Structure 1
Amino acid sequence: MPGVTIIVEGTSVGTVTDLDGNYVIEVDEGDVLVFSFIGYEKQRRTVGSSDIISVQMVEDASSLEEVVVVGYGSQKKSDITGSVASIPKERMEMVPNINIAQAIQGSIPGVMVQNTSAGAEPSQDIMVRGRNSIGANNSPLVVVDGVPYGGNLSDINPNDVESIEILKDVSAAAIYGSRGANGVILVTTKEGKEGAPTISYDGFFSTQQFSNLPDYMDGPQFYNFKNDRLPSGVTASEQAVYDAGAWVDWKDLAFRQGMSNQHNLSISGGFGNTSYFVSGAVLNVRGITQSDNYFRGSSRFNLDTKIADWLTIGTRTQLTFADKSGVAPSMFDVFLANPLAVPYNEDGSLTVFPIADDPARANPLQRTLFENSDKSRQVVTNNFAIVDFERFIPGLNFRFNYGLMDRVSDNNTYRGRNTFDGLNAQGSATLVNLNTSNTVIENILSYNKSIGDHSLFATAVFSTQKDIESLAEMEMAGFPNDLLGWYAGGQADLVEPSFDYFESRLVSQMLRFNYAYDSRYLFTLTGRRDGYSGFGSDSKWGIFPSVALGWNFGNEEFFPWKDTFSEFKIRASYGLNGNQAVGPYQSMARLREENNLAGNITMPGYFPSTLGQGALGWESSRSMNLGIDFGILNHRISGDLNFFHTNTYDLLLHRSISSVHGITSILQNIGETENQGVEFSIHSRNIVKKDFTWSTLGNISYLDNKIVDLYGDGRDDIANTWFIGQPIRVNFDYVFDGVWQLDEVAQAAEWGSQPGFIKIKDVNQDGQITPEDRQIIGRQDPNLIWGLTNAFSYKNFNVTVFIHGVHGVTKENNLMDDQIVTSGVRRNTIVKNWWTPDNPSNEWYMNDINAHRMAGVSTSIYENASFVRLKDITFSYEFPIDLVQKIGGNRFRIYATGRNLLTVTKWRGLDPELDNQLSIPLQREFVLGLQVGL
């Protein structure tokens, strides 16, 4: 077998077998050689007098012995009773990721990662097992190295991550109580290991371009379009541009060749009783639009030192600097900008008014001229001490964690007189300073003991957490000149400061009891009590219990399929979680500032803005999970199947009340939602040969989400588009029913319309178009997601193909809406299949200023936003270890990756995944990378 690692036990001396399974290593008689390979059991051989030691590797059916992080500790995979999923290491190590959300997407059933925006720093929404809450936060809790993480996921360097586990069901997540209702993402960073220093470098360079761009009208198309819609509507300046053939493609001016590069260097090792992992990384992204840039510099210091037999201290510290300075042009303005315009002055500078006779239109590139500094600095540190009471009570230890996150960000912008916004305001500036901090103190007492066939693991936790956020904002206008930018704010005519401060505290106690008998019968009991300062005085505390049972049925003597199944475990869990996702002070009666001028003096004033709610408390989720873990043919095939059902009640909703108090709504615990679904994942080693292997990793999940109750009266909330029995997020609108055709003159006339105009469906057939004709048009969250990875290796060559699918989602395609201003055609639009007598299209109405309305009503176009995406393909070559060792290394790998190469969808917009179809498009990316180990 090639690639088997051979280490002299207790040293850093080692080697790797070549393509024929041969190896050479210098040892002394009596040394112990350890042979290891992923998927095979470790073999140990003591060196005797023979010069040749041959070893038969045996496939490892004991992935069940793998230790998995479960929060406040770890467990053998075979003993876990909850639904805990791990990100495959291949997604972290073999594919270049700029953030960990990219690695999670499509890798775990039941976990939806949606790219909500693109650009140099893309953003993602993550949900575990769907949307439980209507008004509160649905994001999972992120825990890094055991401490809740209050920073941005984009600040975590993926190269520093050792493993990612996701706690999905109530038993697994209940240990985090009020923060675990939406699932928990556990991130564990790398640690040093005893031995000589190991140096690793991982770097890549990529080029980027937009993956899809709708076809907007060019100059002649827009000219004809405007003349058809508004005869004699073309202005003198537009006519001059058209006659000169000098129309502009704003997209060509706004976009550029995107590129990025990342360099990561780490050193790890250990000496004596100390181990360390130190890394530094820089990521520099030049986005595909002008002035869209992102730079991240990060470093990590992970240190463990055993001070005495009974005391270990350590730290997990991350430092991050991010720079997003520069303002990209508004894609809304760029996409819809009039092409019959003059973008530049004769001196090459951008025009303020690109259409001379339309001074209300700004240059869509004006934001690239804004002076902007957008920088942030963050420290995240978890410092701990572990006291081992092994001498007195074997299996008992105590851990003290002190976690701190401190982030400072400044975003300052100045708009000069060379821009439309700055000219009108005679120079304007916005200064924003945001400080956030999070402090966590945890006391964790653990007891782990095995007596014969009995295994016990108990954990007790007492923790406190304090979160502080302070925001200072300054709006300024009327500067004497543009020379000093915002630094001349003291001379501005208008200065409007505003300040906000938020502070909250959480106190928690947790008990968890795990028991296993003979690796057959498993039991977990968890209870957590949380107190949150943001809730009312009568409801600050909540108790969240859960229980889980597991049966390793495959370990029973009477199990009938032992020759087929190497693992067969049945799991069940039931319990309660809470959601505290509401800001501080929501339960208090508050006043809002309302100042007035008396002459030249500002007179401060206040008026009531919210009513107090002493009973305001937790959203609660009651969940049940049934699961099966299986392994077939000595774990050649393995996977799991889960069924879950969650009811979330006492929702945090704003309820409308009489305005007699001067307040129209109040936040209350009312309403209920339901989530239920099924998840399935499978890992198969299809072919395992000497020179060729093929493995498949797949997952799929189905989710049914609905509102059970809102205000206790069984009524829908049409204003917020919340309907009982329907998903939380739906589209609710009039139904586009095509276009009136030439043979429907009489029918169209009954509605005061004509052929070529929009046809809106009269749902209740009452002969009128009224609000009662609006219908639910699909859900906005998908109900089916899946991912499929196929990995092939031939000798030292590797190919990985990852496909991701999202189904059952419908979105408004605002690109198909009529973006034209009715008082005059000022905006561009995409090329449409317009209706004409010679082209009786039923896809889109005619080019007429009134064609988008019927009976005084208009509507939007809603389309199927399901898609299947070839997310990435990676080709790599691992240089032979004997060749690499000759130059003093232990690894040398080169790779090429293509991202977002192909999307199969019926969606006709920018991208079916993005929230805004008038935004920066999703990038197609080509990556070249190198990994070196010394």
Structure 2
Amino acid sequence: MKKRLTMFLACLFLSLGVAMAQTHVTGVVISAEDNQPVIGAFVKVLGTTDGAQTDLDGKFELKVPAGAMLEFSYVGMTPKKVKAAPNMRVVLESDSKTMEEVVVVAYGTQKKSAFTGSAAVVKSGDITKVQVTSAVDALKNKVSGVQMTQSSGDPGSSSGILIRGIGSINAGGSPLYVVDGSPFDGDIKSINPQDIESMTVLKDAASAALYGARGANGVIIITTKAGRADRGTITVDAKWGSKSRAIPDYDYITDPAAYYEMYYKGLYNYAVSPDGKGMKPEKAYIWANKNLTNSSSFGLGYNVYTYPANEKLIGTDGKLNPNATLGRMVTGKDGQQYWLQPDNWIDAIYSNALRQEYSATAVGNTDKSTFYGSVNYLQDDGITVASDYRRFTGRLKADYQINDWLRIGGNMNYSHYSTHYANGGNGDSGDSGNMFAFTRIAPIYPLYLRDGNKNIMRHDASGLEAYDYGDNTSTGLGLLRPFLSGSNALSDNRVNLDFADGNTFNGVATVDVRFLKDLTFRSVNSVYLNESRGKGTTNPWFGLYATEKGSVSVQHSRSWSYNYQQVLNWKPVFGLHDFDFMVGHEYYRFTSTSLNGTKTNMFDFDYSELSGAVVTKNTNSSSGFYNTEGWFGRVNYSYDNKYFGEVSYRRDASSRFHPNHRWGNFWSLGGAWLISKESWFNAPWVDELKFKASYGAQGNDNIGAFRYTNTYSIVPSDNAVATVKRSRGNEKISWEKQGMFNVGFDFSFFRQRLSGSIVYFDRSTKDMLAFFSLPITFGWAGYYDNIGDMSNRGLEVELFGDIIRTRDFKWGAHLNLTTYKNKITRIADANKTMWADGAPGYQSGRYFYGEGQSMYTFYLKKYAGVDPETGKALYWQDKYKKNAAGEFELDKNGQPIVEERVKVENTEKATYHLCGTSLPDVYGGFGTNFAWKGFDFSIDFGYQLGGQVYDDNYAAAMNHNRGSAMHVDLYKAWSPENKGSNIPRVQHQDQYTNASSDRWLTSASYFSLQNINLGYTLPAKLTRKYGVSKVRIYAVGDNLWLWSKRKGLDPRQSINGGVSNVLYSNIRTISGGITVTF
């Protein structure tokens, strides 16, 4: 009993001692920068998992063991360790000074103050503000030197991207993506944007030279989020929104009556014109009315108005008969009664759609490890029928400190996706399989077949509405539509299938070994798998493939890529001299296989497999590979953290070249001077000022495989095997060499209130890889060779303003602009097939590629206006000077000398000229953001000035084509009462009115409202009562508004000035969401 009592008293006193050893600590955390409380700072008891966060007043309280050490930390501030005491006042210093930020570079990181190149960083806060399927789209209008295009709004589509201009005529221009240190071949859409901590754009050669062969067009380094060493959190985010068409139609004539009137005018003018029928007005009136709606080579084929039998649809005044009423009953060729009325095809093609996305992340740590895990689901419905995108992603990232000298890490990402594609055909308005071509259909045609009771008829076999195919064979109606006759692609897209799904996996394993204090080794090994299966069917009842009783196509592809890196770093310090030596080796391999087949005569349309059809049309399989290997090294030097230097070298080999020409040498040299650290520099308003300059040389091998050897197509010939020449090999082709000079200033003024950079760059390409055409007599189409040079010279400006910084209110702003000039500096003599306005080169389509000219320089005939007497279109023709003998006089280049220019009607006599480039003079973005008492708001704009687009859409609508849309600008056309017009008179079959010329060149300038984000974070005092760390409710809108030279025109579709409205329209998305952190 005594023993038990002794034990009890011992435990009691021990417990009391522990309790008495606990100290109640209170305090406040203050920012040294503005002397304001730090809200949400984390206070951790070192050696334990205990901790707390500061409230809205920056205050905290917690119980700690006597003599405990506390660590205070907050994002953007330097952590501080302080011994616990009553009534503490802890001041945290900011570590977010512009020049002290860390920049992710090739195979490592660098302090921004020591960085000699040009890079831009977009952080997770900016990425999560926008609704993007591909994280790279978050770069739009955010980074100087980066041009992005969006040709389609199809769910799952991605933007095109160029960094610092165009590097080649034929070789690829896409940048290299590096994810967590390893080059990434996959689809960026497989990465959940909310998993990304930052994206760093390396723009100059000095920054990207160490990536050798694959970094010539710039590098985008994606760093995913990792576990935090201070605390664990769980975050859930959900957003729901609506998508709609962002780009409106062109100003087409949409009223059926107005369309008939305009079309009648063209027929009437043709009838009275001397180069038409040459009729008197009375006969022309009768002839135009007779041919207006018939199925002759002049008529529209459909009359959807009812009017008295003894009257005409259009009166002598050119207006619709006032007795005419919309809608008409007709007897089809099958004897049935059909009701004709026009439908709104655009409303049938486009409608609002749902976008919803859900994410959950977990972040944690132990004393030796950190981990990050996430899942994400995206449902992105299309704004048209038969289009959507689904994606599920999961990521797990962890690292573990095994002992003092060894650390290992793993990072795995899995993605499953599925998508339905709306058939856009070939993107041509004349493609009958293109659903979007019907945006150009006249507003007089029915979309559906209706019976005599005016009800939409049904097609029993498909279970769909009965559609009007506009021909006289597939339905009983028997009317012939001249525009896309025999087609109803909207119907085809509802019943035909175009589907794909797939799985991707990306795994990265790292090993970090510390041999000595300053000597480390790092191994990064990655694997990427992309496996996809596609399926397409065409229905057996109507449309383009009905005669084949349906068809099914199946495709399967698989690709693997492997990357292995070994890097050794030594970072010795000798007094004021800091060194960073790095050497490494990298091996990369990519392999792919594919298998596909097509069969027709399907047994059952619901069974869409090859085994469900009986007639084999084709089968095919292929495989490919691509290897690179490189050895590299870099030396960074810093003296007194004031003078910086960097030298790098890489020797790379590519399997795309002949073994004798596979190796290339690439290097860079850079330096920086932190002027503001000089003792003689006395400008208190300057925080930091740095001058930097660099030059680097890189290679580009992006031309496809086996260009160095002859290639052939294997074809059947009388049941035997035959070969057909494809392309001729050239074993001498080698690296396209790119060099870039970079010079500029980084700066920060007024206690970081204003910061930014100004940089000049000169990017030159030597030995451009281009395709050299051969005469047909050679049997080969041509071959690749290093046959030209090009340059891009420009200026980039980035400004960031931290305008107001108080406890309750913050206001910031940002602006970036880029201006550059592209020039082809050399064309191989063999490709100088012509001269244009004094420049030697060659023509390809609408473009002229010539020495001294920009890429995408338009080569067109020049429009000279309208003949005020006849209303005919006029064009400029050069007349050449002749000598007394009647021979042309030539200039120093051997070209005829122009004596005068005259106006002609016949475009075949007109002269081609250089008509400017599609590339803009200036582009960029700007925006501002506010935060006040829990509310936050940001808005971002994009802009482009200069450049031209060739507006095919407008050209098509300004012509008198049978059954296609016409633009309201035709009301401004020439007439006897409007002889001063610059638009030719409306006349049917005038072959010169809409000829290809610079008349259709339109300014590529635009101004866009890219993003708005508005949020409110609930008070922490409220949320913590329920065990929740943070709750933010928000609304976000993307791609909200666009101004361009013409309604319906979107210059952002391409770099080369090609635009089209017969593609999937770009979209506007408006959503609301909530983010909860535990």
TM class by shorter-chain length?
A: over 0.9
How far is the alpha carbon of 1:234 from its aligned partner?
1.2
The answer on 1:216 being equivalent to 2:247 is: no
Residue of structure 2 in register with 1:751 after alignment: none
Which AA in structure 1 matches 2:970?
N
SS in structure 2 at match of 1:534:
coil
Map 1:323-722 onto structure 2 (within 5 A). 323-328=418-423, 330-345=434-449, 346-347=457-458, 349-351=465-467, 353-354=469-470, 356-358=478-480, 360-365=485-490, 366-390=492-516, 394-479=517-602, 482-488=605-611, 490-492=613-615, 494-561=616-683, 563-596=684-717, 598=718, 602-712=719-829, 715-719=840-844, 721-722=848-849
The separation in 2 between residues aligned to 1:485 and 1:277, in whole angstroms, is 41
Assess if the C-alpha contact under 8 Å between 1:731 and 1:811 holds in 2: no
The 1:59/1:463 distance shift into structure 2, 3 A limit, reads closer
- Equivalents in 1 of 2:447, 2:592: separation in Å? 42
2:323 counterpart residue number: none
CA contact (8 A) 2:955 2:994 kept: no
Between 345-354 and 370-379, the greater mean CA deviation after superposition = 345-354
* Structural mapping, 1:835-846, within 5 Å: 835-837=973-975, 838-840=977-979, 842=981, 844-846=983-985
SS in 2 for 1:803: strand
* CA deviation after TM superposition for structure 1 residue 582, in Å: 1.4
Amino acid at match of 1:45: V
**Which region of structure 1 is more displaced relative to structure 2, 205-214 or 13-22?**
13-22
Distance 2:169 2:261 in 1: 47
1:925 and 2:1020 aligned:
no
Deviation at 1:488, TM superposition (A): 4.0
Query: What is the correspondence of 1:182-201 to structure 2 with a 5 Å cutoff?
Result: 182-194=217-229, 197-201=232-236
* Cα 1:13/1:911, change in 2 over 3 Å: farther
- CA 1:400–1:310 in structure 2 vs 1: closer, same or farther (change >3 Å)? same
Q: Which one-letter code corresponds to 2:931 in the other structure?
A: S
Q: Following TM superposition, by how much is the alpha carbon of 1:901 offset from its aligned partner in structure 2, in angstroms? A: 2.5
**3-state secondary structure, aligned to 1:882:** helix
Deviation (angstroms), 1:300: 0.8
1:782 partnered with 2:886: no
Q: CA deviation at 1:22?
A: 3.5
Correspondence 1:265-304 to 2 at 5 A? 265-304=360-399
Residue 282 (structure 2) aligns with: none
Distance (Å, rounded) in 1 between the aligned partners of 2:980 and 2:659: 63
Amino acid at match of 1:440: N
Once the 2 structures are TM-superposed, how far is the Cα of residue 689 of structure 1 from its aligned partner?
1.6
Conserved 8 A contact 1:4-1:35: no
1:319/1:572 Cα in 2 relative to 1: closer, same or farther (>3 Å)?
same
Change (3 A) 1:480 1:830: farther
Contact kept? 2:124, 2:194, Cα under 8 Å: no
Offset, 1:272: 4.1
> Using a 3 Å threshold, how does the CA distance of structure 1 residues 67 and 803 change in structure 2: closer, same or farther?
same
Unaligned runs of 5+ in 1: 746-753
Aligned to 1:160: 195
Alpha-carbon distance in structure 2 between the residues aligned to 1:416 and 1:858: 41
Equivalent position SS for 1:463: strand
- Name the SS of the counterpart of 1:419 in structure 2: coil
**How many angstroms apart in 2 are the aligned matches of 1:286 and 1:456?**
53
| Partner of residue 239, structure 1 | 303
For 1:536 and 1:72, how far apart are their aligned partners in 2?
29
Structure 2 distance, partners of 1:430, 1:910, is: 35
Using the size of structure 2 for normalisation, the TM-score is 0.81
Q: CA deviation at 1:12?
A: 5.2
1:896-907 correspondence runs (5 A):
896-907=1035-1046
CA contact (8 A) 2:442 2:966 kept: no
1:404 and 1:896, CA in 2 relative to 1: closer, same or farther beyond 3 A? Answer: same
Q: Does 1:174 align with 2:297?
A: no
SS at match of 2:258: helix
Is this contact kept in 1: 2:729–2:784, CA < 8 A?
no
Which of 828, 844, 850 aligns to 1:723? It is: 850
Match among 872, 876, 883 for residue 761 of structure 1: 876
Residue equivalent to 1:142: 177
Matches within 5 A, 1:846-865: 846-851=985-990, 853=992, 861-865=1000-1004
How far off its partner does 1:63 sit? Answer: 4.1
- Cα offset for 1:408? 1.4
The separation in 2 between residues aligned to 1:480 and 1:94, in whole angstroms, is: 50
RMSD: 2.5
Question: Is the 1:281–1:299 contact (alpha carbons within 8 Å) kept by the matching residues of 2?
Answer: yes
Mean Cα displacement is larger for which, 163-172 or 761-770? 761-770
Q: Look up the SS of the partner of 1:367 in the other structure.
A: helix
2:160 corresponding residue in structure 1: 125
Distance 2:75 2:363 in 1: 21
Distance (whole Å) between structure 1 residues aligned to residue 950 and residue 416 of structure 2: 37
Task: Please state if 1:3 is matched with 2:39.
Answer: yes
Query: Does the 8 Å contact 2:412/2:506 carry over to 1?
Result: yes
Distance of 1:326 and 1:674 partners within structure 2: 39
Q: Which moved more, 1:311-320 or 1:851-860?
A: 851-860
1:503 CA drift (Å): 1.1
One-letter amino acid of the structure 2 residue matched with residue 828 of structure 1: A
Structure 1 residue 605: Cα displacement: 0.4
Aligned AA (2:540): R
1:530 Cα deviation after fit: 0.6
- Separation in structure 1 between the aligned mates of residue 73 and residue 722 of structure 2, nearest angstrom: 73
Indicate conservation of the 8 Å contact 1:520/1:552, yes or no.
yes
Deviation of 1:739 (Å): 3.1
From 402, 406, 419, the equivalent of 1:311 is 406
Number of equivalent positions: 910
Kept in 1, the 8 Å contact 2:728–2:781? The answer is no
Q: What residue is the counterpart of 1:749 in the other structure?
A: none
Shift of 1:341: 3.3
Residue number in structure 1 paired with 2:962:
825
Report the alpha carbon displacement of residue 407 of structure 1 after superposing the two structures with TM. 0.7
Counterparts in 2 of 1:39 and 1:379: CA distance versus 1, 3 Å: closer
Higher Cα Rg, which structure: 2
Query: Structure 1 559/167 Cα, relative in aligned 2: closer, same or farther at 3 Å?
Result: same
Aligned 8 A contact 1:195 1:271 in 2: no
**Retained in 1: the 8 A contact 2:553–2:610?**
no
Contact 2:586-2:630 within 8 A present in 1 as well: yes
Q: Which deviations, in whole Å up to 9, do the C-alpha atoms of 1:456-503 show, x marking residues without a partner?
A: 1122121111112223232333445535334445512x4211233221
Q: Are residues 337 and 350 of structure 1, via their aligned partners in 2, closer, same or farther at CA, if it must alter by over 3 Å?
A: farther
Identical aligned residues as a percent: 24
2:1043 alignment partner AA? V
TM-superposed deviation, 1:419: 3.3
Which amino acid letter does the alignment assign opposite residue 841 of structure 2? D
- Alignment equivalent of 1:46, drawn from 66, 83, 87: 83
Q: Secondary structure at the match of 2:399?
A: strand
Matched AA of 1:362: S
Structure 1-normalised TM-score?
0.93
For 1:270 and 1:351, the matched residues in 2 are separated by 61
**1:780 and 1:410, CA in 2 relative to 1: closer, same or farther beyond 3 A?**
farther
State the Cα distance separating 1:776 from its structure 2 match. Answer: 2.8
- Stretch of structure 1 that moved more, 93-102 or 574-583: 93-102
Q: Distance in 1 between matches of 2:1063 and 2:967?
A: 14
> CA separation of 1:195/1:53 partners in 2, compared to 1, >3 Å: closer, same or farther?
closer
Q: CA deviation at 1:799?
A: 0.9
Given residue 508 of structure 2, which amino acid in structure 1 is its aligned partner?
A: N
